[in-house]
């Protein structure tokens, strides 16, 4: 089954990405994690995301478009990246989620991926 | 037919049903489809077996009935689909294997009590899948509307199937924590309806079902000590059932129960389980709770309660499984050991937010204040306790002092 690991981070962790003191440790942790997943051959897709300050949110109401600076939800932890992994069951996906650096200071949501949609009937 | 024989037939039907459901569900993760395939067969068994006796091969009987019902369903075109035919194939496989299939019920119990499943639905899920109880009966025991219970069960089964929960016994490193979830869910079944003495609120308890599940885990995980601890705990409590009310239906607190009404057989079985569990050399929460009940049970032989032993055990329990219940019970043990001042101090550190609706806190507090001669405060605590009591017999007991 395919699962998305939805990785969230608090502002302090996002800040470490470019912090001269902490950047090496921060990126080292993620590199090791990603390498382990790749070694296991389970990664179908995945990316880190630029920080929430770079986010722009759009909504359309009654045909009118509103564009807003910032992420869609104002939460303490924000989406920092994701992976799509292919593993036999939820328990294996949870084991991988638990190994991510952010599991120990933020949260990882694990969601099964829907099977591919059929092309709309023509 | 005698009640005992009827119960035996029902137990046989549930035993077979649980085994077959576990086999079908473990292969497909689709509990709902497996239940659908077996439900009519279970109903037929619960009707026929008590009257005509348990068939020589109960599994084969149920499988035949299930296959017939399934074919009927297909013939009437009610349901069709991949899951259905997969179930049909598995029924055929199981029938071919006759009685040689493995018991997958332990896996099913671990799935029901999986951390990804809402804690409130774990016990109902076990009762429905392993024992084949219907949602209405479960709802009644948990005092929840039947429709709400059905909905929770359906949602949980969908999550198990669609999120891909693993049907497996956890690995050694994970086993103790996962087993504790299973045991907690079984103990919750035992507790359902326990406070409703004699069913005054129409709540029919599930103690028999819980004890069945406790025995099942002991059989399926024979090396683990905590299932034996849980089964011992439930048997100690069950042994006292007849003594919990007097002839006039009045509530009798543990310390004043007539020990000749306690079931000697159950107490002996519980003692044996606790001894067997201790051989594993790993003391856990349920063994600790059972040991506390064992101290109370000794009153039948010695005529006295060893309050010092209780205090020590409650301290151990507070380390392993701290809860408001443990805090209050420990304070009661300290009071009964003759130290009301320390008992009051123990109650005073309890989390005030959690005690406001916890009736035993006020019962013990009233007794402690009474022992300290603080009568006005004791009256207030007692009034709080009575206000929090649902059961009329217990209320009457508290009013009578």
B299-319 tens-digit pLDDT: 999 999 999 999 999 999 998
Residue in chain B closest to A92 (alpha carbons) equals B166
Residue B144 and residue B177: Cα distance in Å, rounded?
A: 28
**Overall average pLDDT of the A97-112 stretch:** 96
pLDDT at B203: 61
pLDDT at B49: 92
What's the token pair of residue A2? 């395919």
- Give the residue from A1, A91, A95 with the most B CB atoms within 10 Å of its CB, the best one to mutate: A91
Give B190→chain A minimum CA distance, Å. 29
**Residue B247 near residue B189 (C-beta atoms within 8 A):** no
Q: List residues of chain B with CB under 8 Å from any CB of chain A.
A: 116, 162-166, 168
Q: Which range (A35-39, B33-37, B168-172) has the least confidence?
A: B33-37
Higher per-residue pLDDT: A23 or B93: A23
Residue B366 and residue B146: Cα distance in Å, rounded?
A: 38
- Percentage of residues of chain B with pLDDT beyond 70: 93
pLDDT at B202: 56
**Residue A77 near residue A106 (C-beta atoms within 8 A):** yes
Residue in chain A closest to B168 (alpha carbons) equals A91
pLDDT at B351: 74
> Per this entry, what is the length of chain A?
122
Residues of chain A contacting residue B27, judged by C-beta atoms under 8 Å apart: none
Residues of chain A contacting residue B168, judged by C-beta atoms under 8 Å apart: 91
Cβ distance B168 to A91 less than 8 Å, yes or no, reads: yes
Residue B342 pLDDT exceeds 70: yes
Q: Which of B318, B235, B229 is nearest to B280 (CA)?
A: B229
Residue B94 and residue B246: Cα distance in Å, rounded?
A: 51
Residue B178 sits at the vertex; the CA angle it makes with B173 and B179, to the nearest 5 degrees, is 105
What spatial distance separates the first Cα and last Cα of chain A, rounded to whole Å? Answer: 29
Residues of chain A contacting residue B110, judged by C-beta atoms under 8 Å apart: none
CB-closest option in A91, A92, A112 to B162: A112
Give A25→chain B minimum CA distance, Å. 29
**Overall average pLDDT of the A3-19 stretch:** 95
pLDDT digits (tens, 9 = 90+) for B245-260: 888 888 898 989 999 9
pLDDT at A118: 76
Residue B362 and residue B68: Cα distance in Å, rounded?
A: 58
Q: Which residue has the tokens 């990882």?
A: A108
pLDDT at B320: 85
pTM score of the predicted model: 0.88
Residues of chain A contacting residue B166, judged by C-beta atoms under 8 Å apart: 88-92
* Confidence band for B265, pLDDT divided at 50, 70 and 90: very high
Residues of chain B contacting residue A1, judged by C-beta atoms under 8 Å apart: 164
Q: Which of B207, B138, B221, B142 is nearest to B179 (CA)?
A: B221
pLDDT digits (tens, 9 = 90+) for A43-90: 999 999 999 999 999 999 999 999 999 999 889 999 999 999 999 999
pLDDT at B390: 78
Exposure letters B206-226 (e unless 16+ CB within 10 A, then b) = bbebbbbbbebbbebbeebbb
Give A17→chain B minimum CA distance, Å. 32
**Residue B345 near residue B331 (C-beta atoms within 8 A):** no
pLDDT digits (tens, 9 = 90+) for B21-68: 998 898 889 999 889 889 889 999 999 999 999 999 888 898 888 888
């Amino acid at each position: 089954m395919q699962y998305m690991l939805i990785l969230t981070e608090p502002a302090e962790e996002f800040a470490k990405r470019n912090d001269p003191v902490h950047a090496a440790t921060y990126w080292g942790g993620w590199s090791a994690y990603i390498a382990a997943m790749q070694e296991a051959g389970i990664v179908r897709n995945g990316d880190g995301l630029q920080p929430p300050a770079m986010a722009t949110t759009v909504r359309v109401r009654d045909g009118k478009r509103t564009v807003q600076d910032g992420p869609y939800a104002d939460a303490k932890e924000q989406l920092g990246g994701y992976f799509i992994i292919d593993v036999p069951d939820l328990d294996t996906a949870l084991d991988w989620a638990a190994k991510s650096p952010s599991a120990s200071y933020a949260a990882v949501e694990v969601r099964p991926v829907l099977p591919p949609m059929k092309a709309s009937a023509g | 037919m005698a009640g005992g024989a009827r119960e035996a037939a029902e137990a046989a039907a549930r035993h077979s049903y649980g085994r077959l459901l576990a086999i079908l569900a473990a292969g497909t993760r689709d509990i709902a489809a497996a239940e659908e395939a077996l439900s009519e067969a279970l109903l037929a068994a619960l009707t026929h077996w008590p009257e005509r006796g348990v068939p020589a091969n109960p599994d084969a009987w149920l499988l035949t009935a299930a296959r017939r019902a399934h074919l009927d369903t297909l013939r009437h075109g009610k349901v069709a689909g991949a899951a259905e035919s997969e179930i049909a194939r598995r029924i055929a496989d199981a029938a071919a294997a006759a009685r040689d299939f493995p018991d997958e019920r332990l896996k099913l119990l671990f799935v029901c009590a999986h951390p990804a499943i809402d804690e409130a639905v774990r016990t109902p899920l076990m009762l429905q899948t392993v024992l084949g109880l219907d949602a209405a009966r479960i709802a009644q025991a948990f005092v929840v509307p039947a429709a709400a219970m059905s909905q929770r069960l359906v949602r949980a089964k969908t999550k198990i199937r669609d999120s891909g929960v693993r049907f497996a016994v956890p690995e050694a490193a994970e086993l103790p924590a996962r087993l504790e979830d299973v045991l907690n869910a079984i103990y919750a079944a035992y507790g359902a309806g326990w406070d409703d003495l004699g069913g005054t609120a129409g709540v029919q308890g599930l103690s028999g079902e819980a004890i069945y599940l406790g025995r099942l885990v002991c059989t399926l995980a024979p090396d683990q000590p905590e299932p034996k601890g849980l089964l011992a705990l439930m048997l100690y409590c069950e042994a006292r059932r007849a003594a919990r009310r007097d002839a006039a239906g009045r509530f009798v607190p543990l310390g004043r129960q007539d020990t000749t009404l306690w079931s000697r057989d159950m107490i002996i079985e519980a003692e044996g389980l606790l001894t067997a569990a201790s051989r594993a050399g790993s003391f856990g929460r349920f063994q600790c709770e059972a040991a506390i009940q064992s101290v109370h049970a000794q009153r039948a032989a010695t005529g006295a309660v060893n309050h010092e032993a209780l205090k020590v055990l409650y301290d151990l329990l507070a380390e392993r499984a701290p809860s408001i219940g443990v805090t209050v019970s420990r304070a009661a043990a300290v009071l009964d050991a003759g130290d009301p001042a320390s008992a009051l101090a123990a109650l005073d550190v309890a989390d005030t937010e959690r005690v406001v609706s916890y009736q035993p806190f006020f019962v013990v507090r009233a007794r402690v204040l009474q022992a300290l001669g603080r009568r006005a405060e004791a009256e207030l605590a007692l009034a709080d306790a009575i206000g929090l009591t649902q059961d009329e017999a217990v209320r009457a007991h508290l009013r009578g002092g």
